[in-house]
Amino acid sequence: MKKTFLITIVFMLGLLIQSCSNNDDEALKPVNLTITLKYDETFNSLLTKNSTVVIVNNETGNKYTVQTDTNGIAQFNQIIPGTYSVSATKVMLANEFTETFGYTPSEAEINFNGTETSLTVNTETAPVSIIMKTSKVGDFVIKQIYYGGSDTKKGAVFRDQFIEIYNNSNEVQYADGLYIAQLYGTNVTTVFAYTLSTGQFDWSKSEEMTIGDVANKNYVYASNVLQIPGNGTQYPVQPGKSIVIAQNAINHQSNYIDNSGKSVSILNPELTVDLSTSDFESFLGTYSGDLYQFDVQNPAVPDLEIAYWGNGNNDMILDPSGRQSFAIFNMNAAAFASLKKYKNPKGDKNLYLQIPNTVLTDGVELTKDLGSGLVPKKLPAQIDGGNTYLPSGSYSSKSVMRKTKTTIGGRVILQDTNNSTNDFVETKANPRGFN
């Protein structure tokens, strides 16, 4: 009797193990994924032909690229089930735009983008539809973000960070009044009661928010906003030239004395950069009344104005892990003063500035990586349909820099498809340099 019972248990365990094994095999069995692209209602929801669709597995980082056919369909065959980020891009020249939509655009090149940041792909996934949107390509673009910093022992840590903004047009542009925003959101794709399905905050659930899901669709949220000073024509930027905005506009390749009187030694100057000739620097000492040890002011470099400061940092410190995003925009002082501020939907004490997408000139979406460190998007697809990051990681002396598209008469034109996955690459930090 005991022998029979033991045989039965062994038999049942064998069936259970086999069943689990079959389930595992089924979960890893490659599947097909169909994605259809359509322009938004502004363009009569026409199908988007000959567009590039990139999907990235959020767990493994594996990337697949397919072009849509004449029916706007991108067919991915035999991919491993999982959670994927989808980025679609269509670059349309003016003649194709006219043929497609029946009128002549004001720009020579129009960029459409669409995204899906957390798509579950398995045997039950139905065909997916993504809406392609466009926005005007800005005259000013974010050219370079040096957020990673340099070696913590031999370099300058995060003190040498900077942002570079470029005049990508063929006319003089004035930087006066331009706003630079550090955007805020969640850092992980984990879904909670206060987030969207992507893991990003559901701002409609913020205290005193009354506009529903429009809070997520039509706005971005900033922890800090800096502004370039000027009277309107004080800071001209010639075509093909940059403005460099330093956290601290000093030569980080040389030893110096910090605000506490302590000597700071740079053991390997090649790991960092000279920012003493920057166009602007952030200096919080006057604004906060609390002089940070490393917020060393260069009297020869103009200070940025502090338009809004919500996170409590005592300097323009960029997250070395790449969990922030950035945008530039213009609006008059009265309109800016009317912008509302909200706590995040978790109810943390800090307030974040709500900025309408319609005023954004350019934006760059950063992430830690494309695998387990993927950061939910903060920017809408029409501003940035992708993201960029540093494969070398933090404190690597590397920045993300916009690619060079072409050169006309000695003027470098940078690539600007409103998709930083396509537009940016990792490079050694190099103020006013080119990739």
Taking only the tens place, the pLDDT of each residue in 355-414 is 999 999 999 999 999 888 999 999 999 999 999 999 999 999 999 999 999 998 899 999
Single-letter amino acid, residue 324: Q
Q: Which of 189, 206, 166 is nearest to 371 (CA)?
A: 189
CATH architecture of 25-134: Sandwich (2.60)
Cβ atoms of residues 202 and 345 within 8 Å? yes
* pLDDT the model gives residue 405: 92
If 0-12 CB within 10 Å is exposed, 13-18 middle and 19+ buried, where does residue 71 land?
exposed
| Percent helix, strand and coil across the chain, each to the nearest 5 | 15, 35, 50
Query: So what's the pLDDT on residue 10?
Result: 47
Residue ranges of domains in the chain: 25-134, 140-428
Q: Specify the residue for token string 């969207």.
A: 196
If DSSP codes are grouped into helix, strand and coil, which group holds residue 403?
A: coil
Cβ atoms of 81 and 27 within 8 Å: the answer is yes
Residue 145 to residue 397: CA distance in whole angstroms: 12
* 206 contact partners, CB below 8 Å, separation of at least 6: 215, 342, 343, 344, 345
3-state SS class at 7 = helix
Rg over CA atoms, the chain: 25
Tokens of 124: 């039950």
Strand residue runs (E) in 208-255? 219-227, 236-237, 242-246
Per-residue confidence in pLDDT tens, the chain, 435 aa: 445 545 555 455 555 555 454 555 566 789 999 999 999 988 999 999 999 999 988 888 888 999 999 999 999 999 999 989 899 999 899 999 999 999 888 778 888 999 887 899 999 999 999 999 887 666 999 999 999 999 999 999 999 999 999 999 989 999 999 999 999 999 999 999 999 999 999 999 999 999 999 999 999 999 999 999 999 999 999 999 999 999 999 999 999 999 999 999 999 999 999 999 999 999 999 898 889 999 999 999 999 999 999 998 889 999 999 999 999 999 999 999 999 999 999 999 999 999 999 999 999 999 999 888 999 999 999 999 999 999 999 999 999 999 999 998 899 999 999 999 999 999 999 999 998
Predicted pLDDT of residue 7? 52
Question: Can you give the pLDDT at residue 27?
Answer: 63
Query: What does the DSSP 8-state code read for residue 417?
Result: S
Distance of CA 57 to the CA centre of its chain: 18
Three-state SS letters, 98-135: HHHHCCCCCCCEEEEEEEEEEEEECCCCCCEEEEEEEC
Backbone angles phi, psi at 51, to 5 degrees: -110, 150
Q: What is the pLDDT of residue 226?
A: 98
Rounded to the nearest angstrom, the gap between the alpha carbon of residue 184 and the centroid of all alpha carbons in its chain is 11
